[in-house]
């Protein structure tokens, strides 16, 4: 069960899963059983992912201009590869052996199999954590670890789902699957305010907000992807084609506007140590 915790300042599961259970799940089950086919999906989206990651790196480089970058929970390494192409000195960290093996076999980037709790990889100019903080039982501890692992002039690029939004509540009226946005693997649920407050308590200041496209609009327009993944892929492909037809400046302007209002399916922020 998820609760809105006024002590933590964000929603999370109650009770929290055990650390041992989570370690087993993410080391050998998450990509293999919960997210099968992820490599094929990413390859199908390769052009769009490349453009999106380059956009995010452009924003990050405005605060941490090059140097060293650690991608925590890097998965199959797509963002690592994008950063390396922009001449960042990259390192990846992921608990999944299968994901790490894929990176080693397909990319010339360094990666370590392990979790942030038991790794001390050093100090970096930038840290990226995409769709990870919602999986961490103690996100405050993780953010404090990030702060301790950043140089004073460094920056954190954080991406996580934007949950319990007004748009999602409205889209529930049209979706066959109620609360379709709830993911059984998520421990925490954030909105812009709760994420910003948590970052502030952990010694960060947000310098930029972006977002990803709000998929809720498709549901409201009677394209119910909650009952058919093929509909969802078709909808997202339309977003991809539109994004690729825009310039980087146009994409950043659009997603900054969404992020500024706390809208969008995902929150994308750059934060710096205070």
Q: Please tell me the distance from the alpha carbon of residue 7 to that of residue 101, in angstroms, as a whole number.
A: 40
Q: Please tell me the distance from the alpha carbon of residue 219 to that of residue 206, in angstroms, as a whole number.
A: 31
CB count, 10 Å around CB of 221? 11
Per the confidence metrics, is the pTM higher than 0.75?
A: yes
pLDDT at 29: 84
Q: 96 and 28 in contact (C-beta within 8 Å)? A: yes
- Tokens representing 174? 């049209």
Contacts 24+ apart (CB under 8 A), 35-42: 38/75, 38/76, 39/76, 39/102, 42/76, 42/78
CA distances from 157 to 7, 32, 126 (A): 25, 26, 7
Q: What stretches of 2-145 adopt beta strand conformation (E)?
A: 2-5, 10-13, 68-72, 89-94, 111-113, 124-130
One pLDDT digit (tens) per residue for the chain, 274 residues? 676 766 677 777 777 777 778 878 878 888 788 788 889 999 999 999 999 999 999 999 999 877 999 999 999 999 999 999 999 999 999 999 999 999 999 999 999 999 898 776 789 999 999 999 999 999 999 999 999 999 989 999 999 999 989 999 999 999 999 999 888 889 999 999 999 999 999 999 999 999 999 999 999 999 999 999 999 999 999 999 999 999 999 999 999 999 999 999 999 999 999 8
Q: 127 and 147 in contact (C-beta within 8 Å)? A: no
Token look-up 């929970």 returns 73
pLDDT at 89: 96
Q: 96 and 31 in contact (C-beta within 8 Å)? A: yes
pLDDT at 120: 66
Helices (H) and strands (E) in the chain, counts: 11, 10
Helical (H) or strand (E) element with 45 = none
């Amino acid at each position: 069960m998820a609760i809105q915790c006024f002590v933590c300042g964000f929603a999370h599961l109650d009770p929290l899963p055990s650390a041992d259970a989570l370690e087993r799940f993410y080391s050998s089950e998450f990509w293999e059983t919960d997210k099968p086919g992820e490599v094929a999906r990413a390859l199908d989206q390769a052009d769009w992912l490349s453009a999106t990651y380059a956009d995010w790196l452009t924003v990050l480089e405005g605060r941490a201009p090059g140097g060293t970058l650690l991608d925590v929970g890097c998965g199959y390494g797509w963002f690592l590869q994008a950063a390396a192409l922009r001449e960042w000195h990259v390192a990846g960290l992921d608990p999944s052996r299968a994901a790490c093996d894929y990176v080693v076999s397909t990319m010339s980037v360094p990666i370590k199999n392990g979790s942030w709790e038991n790794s001390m990889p050093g100090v970096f100019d930038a840290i990226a954590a995409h769709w990870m903080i919602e999986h961490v039982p103690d996100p405050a501890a993780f953010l404090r670890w990030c702060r301790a692992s950043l140089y004073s002039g460094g920056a954190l690029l954080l991406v996580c789902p934007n949950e319990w939004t007004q748009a999602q509540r409205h889209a529930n009226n049209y979706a066959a699957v109620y609360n379709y946005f709830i993911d059984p693997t998520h421990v925490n649920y954030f909105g812009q305010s709760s994420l910003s407050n948590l970052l502030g308590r952990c010694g960060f200041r947000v310098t930029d907000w972006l977002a990803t496209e709000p998929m809720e609009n498709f549901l409201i327009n009677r394209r119910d992807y909650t009952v058919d993944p093929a509909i969802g892929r078709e909808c997202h492909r339309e977003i991809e084609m539109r994004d690729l037809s825009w310039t980087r400046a146009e994409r950043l302007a659009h997603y900054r506007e969404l992020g500024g209002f706390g809208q969008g399916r995902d929150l994308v922020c750059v934060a710096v140590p205070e």
